[in-house]
């Protein structure tokens, strides 16, 4: 085999050095931009007039209109496996979509619309807003404790997940499934058509309820934080402390407390001497209610 010539080796040496320089410059560019995006917690609106539209149509107003409309129409749903199928009029279907409850189901009916609600969404409408009815095997369930017991039997740790869901929903955050991001929920400031989600939410049972623990080791935390960073979201962990003993609904929910904790990657650029001390406390920030939306 012939040895490569000196000119050949010099040519590829220059090419490799040039490629390394490009990689270093690209990595530096990514680092600067990533640090900027993590330090900025402003909502990322999807189009120019989205923020104005959100201010003109607050989430709280939409939920109030949805509640009144569902009560007037006496909307009802029935239990199907691990979800609730809700049949509504076209008017309520639009309000459900605006409030981000459930997923529409395509059907041949023109005067009726079908929505598939998760157990947390259905119980929030049933218990918190008191605007729908739920039936099982053609029998309406008027007793909230009975509905609570049935949903607990359908989903492990349902009390913990419902407490976390209602905790953020009551603050006017819109929640959707976070399955595609490896979390329980993603939280939006307003309708997903207007703004990107800000938080990837993990629900952690406190006091050992159910034994469904994550983030036990640093590698779990590192993976979760890196994944959230790659999709421009902040990891929000909700620790639901307490225990649900017995079948009594009110005492069960009152026993729970929710602790919020955001976890982000530490950046040296956020810890310079000329930075304010407020930025160093970003990880302890409380997720406040969205009073304006």
Active site residues: 188, 196, 233
- Tell me if 219 sits within 8 A of 227, measured CB to CB: no
Please give the angle made by the CA atoms of 74, 176 and 149, to the nearest 5 degrees: 55
Cα separation, 235 vs 112, in Å, equals: 39
Edge-to-edge order in the sheet of strand 76-80: 103-105, 113-117, 83-88, 76-80, 133-136, 139-140
- Tell me if 217 sits within 8 A of 167, measured CB to CB: no
Cα separation, 100 vs 229, in Å, equals: 25
- Tell me if 38 sits within 8 A of 30, measured CB to CB: no
176 CB burial (10 A radius; 0-12, 13-18, 19+): middle
Edge-to-edge order in the sheet of strand 185-188: 174-177, 185-188, 199-205, 234-241, 257-263
């Amino acid at each position: 085999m012939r040895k490569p010539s000196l000119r050949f080796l010099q040519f590829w040496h220059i090419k490799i050095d040039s490629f390394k320089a490009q990689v270093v410059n690209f990595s530096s560019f990514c680092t600067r931009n990533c640090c900027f995006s993590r330090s900025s917690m402003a909502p990322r609106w999807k189009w120019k007039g989205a923020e104005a539209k959100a201010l003109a149509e607050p989430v709280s107003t939409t939920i109030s209109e949805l509640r009144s409309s569902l009560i007037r129409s006496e909307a009802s749903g029935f239990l199907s496996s691990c979800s609730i199928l809700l049949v509504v009029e076209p008017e309520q279907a639009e309000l459900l979509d605006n409030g981000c409850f459930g997923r529409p189901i395509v059907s041949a009916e023109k005067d009726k619309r079908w929505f598939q609600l998760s157990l947390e969404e259905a119980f929030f409408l049933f218990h918190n807003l008191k605007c729908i009815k739920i039936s099982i095997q053609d029998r309406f369930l008027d007793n909230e404790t009975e509905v609570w017991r049935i949903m607990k039997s359908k989903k492990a740790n349902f009390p913990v997940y419902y407490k976390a869901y209602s905790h953020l929903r009551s603050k006017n955050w819109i929640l959707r499934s976070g399955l595609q991001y490896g979390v329980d929920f993603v939280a939006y400031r307003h309708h997903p058509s207007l703004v990107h989600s800000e938080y990837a939410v993990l629900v952690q049972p406190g006091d050992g309820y159910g034994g469904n623990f994550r983030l036990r080791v640093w590698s779990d935390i590192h993976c979760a934080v890196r994944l959230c960073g790659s999709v421009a979201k902040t990891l929000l962990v909700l620790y639901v402390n307490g225990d649900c003993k017995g079948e009594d609904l009110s005492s069960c929910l009152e026993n729970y407390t929710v602790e919020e904790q955001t976890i982000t990657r530490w950046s040296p650029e956020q810890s310079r001497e000329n930075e304010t001390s407020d930025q160093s406390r970003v990880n302890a920030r409380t997720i406040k209610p969205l009073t304006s939306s």
